[in-house]
Amino acid sequence: MFERFTRDKRARDETAIRLENISVRYRVPHERYATLKEHTIRLLQRRVQYDDFLALREVSMTMRRGEVVGIIGRNGAGKSTLLKVIGRVLRPTRGRVLIRGRVAPLLEFGAGFHPELTGRENIFLNGAILGFSRAQMQAKFDRIVDFAELRDFIDAPLRTYSSGMVARLGFAVATDIEPDVLIIDEVLSVGDAAFQLKSAERIQSFRATDATILLVSHNLASVEAMCDRAIWLERGQIVAEGAASSVVRQYRGDDTRAEAKRLAEITKPAPTQRWGTGRIEIVAVRLKNARGEAATIFETGEALILEMDYHAHDAVSSPIFGMAIHRQDGVQITGPNTAFAGLTLPTLEGKGTVTYTVPYLPLLEGLYQVSVAALNHNDTEMFDYHDRCYSFRVINSQNRIRERFGMLTLHGEWTYTHRPANSDVAFGN
């Protein structure tokens, strides 16, 4: 196999990474003893038991130089373990890893920085941590300092910098480190919006070079947009591999099916999520798609229909029915009701159904929760309230909506008027 790693004039065809039947077994003590004292006691009692956990099983793959490969899969599928094996942080239990060139991860801002060192010293130390020699860093130094716009402060200790300055320096260092294989683990830095943006920028600027990029991400849209190829891992094994768009589509399909099943199972609210006087009871809540089928998965731009079956136990005059959509983190996105819409219901007694139709669902990909409510006409009595009991997921499998930022699309339209630079005449008119 080693012959394949010889230098080739056609650099594009070179193999950058080759994994041959990689298995990684973690050996974890049955109970974890954090102290030596405890461990010794257990050891003397011969009571240390281990559990073996196979994080990767017989994984083989090849990456060519210059490729951008995304790794997707659920939590615990072995994605980060795979990155660690490639990044030389973990040695595989079995199998063989061959890597040509220098591997470096994209680090968080300022990882490895020391506050007492000057900006200059930190640049060199950070470079050295990533495996670059002093001479190599010397060549990059001016570019980094100029990019970070910190020339005047470069010999001051880092503790005197503002947090913005530290971030700029971290960014500049990370941007100028050009390994042959760049590893980006977005899963480890969830919630770090700056990191996500940075990784997107890095990938864009890297595509031009010959570097190989490995990206682990939960953001399927970005994997699809940025990667040439994708690998889908499940329980430590490769389930699918190939063109990013096709692997992502397969994964989404599988993910959606599994989730649809799970979400559909939740039909009754837990007692803690429900309150009200009960004069009107909401007995059933259904989400339906445009075709009138019960659904928990929706596409952005699709229709969403919410139906609530009610049971008014005694005559209630002009009650109000409402619903709310929350994002998973609790942010309320909308909260329409019949009163806002100017719909006055008559006095109700007995059973019926109230329907709320959304012709165009503007939400972008994500998991959302629905609350429903029935209350009296002047909002002084809550008859029944189901707090965030029903979930649905919005996906974007056909990529009809290309938007990726924020939580919704305004479904707006872009136009432009162009005024050529030297057309004073046009301005005059």
Partner 1 sequence: MRASNELVYDSARPRLAIWEDALELFRYRDLLWGLVQRDLTVRYKRSILGFLWTMLNPLLTMIVLTIVFSTLFRFEFQHFAVYLLSGLLLWNFFAQSTTQAIHNLLWAGSLVNKIYIPKPIFVVSALIVGLVNLMLALIPLALIMLISQHPFSPALFFLPIPIALVFMFALGVGLFVTTLAIFFVDVVDIYQVGLMILFYLSPIIYPLSILPERYLFFIRFNPMYYFLELFRQPIYDGTLPAAGLVGRAALLALSALLAGWWFFTKKADEFAYRV
Task: List contacts with partner 1 (CB under 8 A).
Answer: 2, 5-7, 26-27, 33-37, 39, 84-85, 87-92, 95-105, 107, 111-112, 114, 116-117, 121, 124-125, 128-134, 157, 185, 188
Nearer to partner 1, 116 or 293 (CB): 116
Query: Do residues 356 and 297 make contact, with C-beta atoms less than 8 angstroms apart?
Result: no
Coil, helix or strand at residue 391: strand
Rg of the chain's alpha carbons, rounded to an integer?
A: 28
Q: How far apart are CA 265 and CA 200, in angstroms?
A: 37
Nearer to partner 1, 131 or 242 (CB): 131
Nearer to partner 1, 24 or 324 (CB): 24
Q: Which residues fall within 8 angstroms of residue 427, CB to CB, at 6 or more apart?
A: 419
Q: How far apart are CA 37 and CA 39, in angstroms?
A: 5
Least separation in angstroms between residue 165's CB and partner 1 is: 19
Nearer to partner 1, 190 or 294 (CB): 190
Task: Report how far apart the first and last C-alpha atoms of the chain are (Å, whole number).
Answer: 72
Q: How far apart are CA 297 and CA 264, in angstroms?
A: 10
Least separation in angstroms between residue 91's CB and partner 1 is: 5
Which letter, b or e, does each residue of 180-199 get, where b requires 16 or more Cβ atoms within 10 Å of its Cβ?
Answer: bbbbbbbbebeeeeebbebb
Least separation in angstroms between residue 417's CB and partner 1 is: 49
Query: Do residues 386 and 285 make contact, with C-beta atoms less than 8 angstroms apart?
Result: yes
Q: Give the count of alpha carbons within 13 A of 185, CB side only.
A: 17
Least separation in angstroms between residue 235's CB and partner 1 is: 18
Nearer to partner 1, 213 or 389 (CB): 213
Least separation in angstroms between residue 85's CB and partner 1 is: 8
Least separation in angstroms between residue 143's CB and partner 1 is: 19
Least separation in angstroms between residue 219's CB and partner 1 is: 20
Would you say the C-alpha torsion 205, 210, 211, 216 has a positive or negative sign? positive
Least separation in angstroms between residue 178's CB and partner 1 is: 14
Nearer to partner 1, 6 or 422 (CB): 6
Nearer to partner 1, 97 or 382 (CB): 97
Nearer to partner 1, 88 or 257 (CB): 88
Quick one: DSSP state of residue 7?
Answer: -
Least separation in angstroms between residue 325's CB and partner 1 is: 38
Coil, helix or strand at residue 107: coil
Task: Write out the two tokens for 131.
Answer: 């495996």
Q: How far apart are CA 171 and CA 222, in angstroms?
A: 21
State how far Cα 162 lies from the chain centre: 29
Nearer to partner 1, 11 or 243 (CB): 11
Q: Judging by beta carbons within 10 Å of its beta carbon (0-12, 13-18, 19+), is residue 246 exposed, middle or buried?
A: middle
Nearer to partner 1, 194 or 294 (CB): 194
Between the alpha carbon of residue 113 and those of residues 119, 158, 198, the distances in Å are 9, 8, 18
Least separation in angstroms between residue 193's CB and partner 1 is: 20
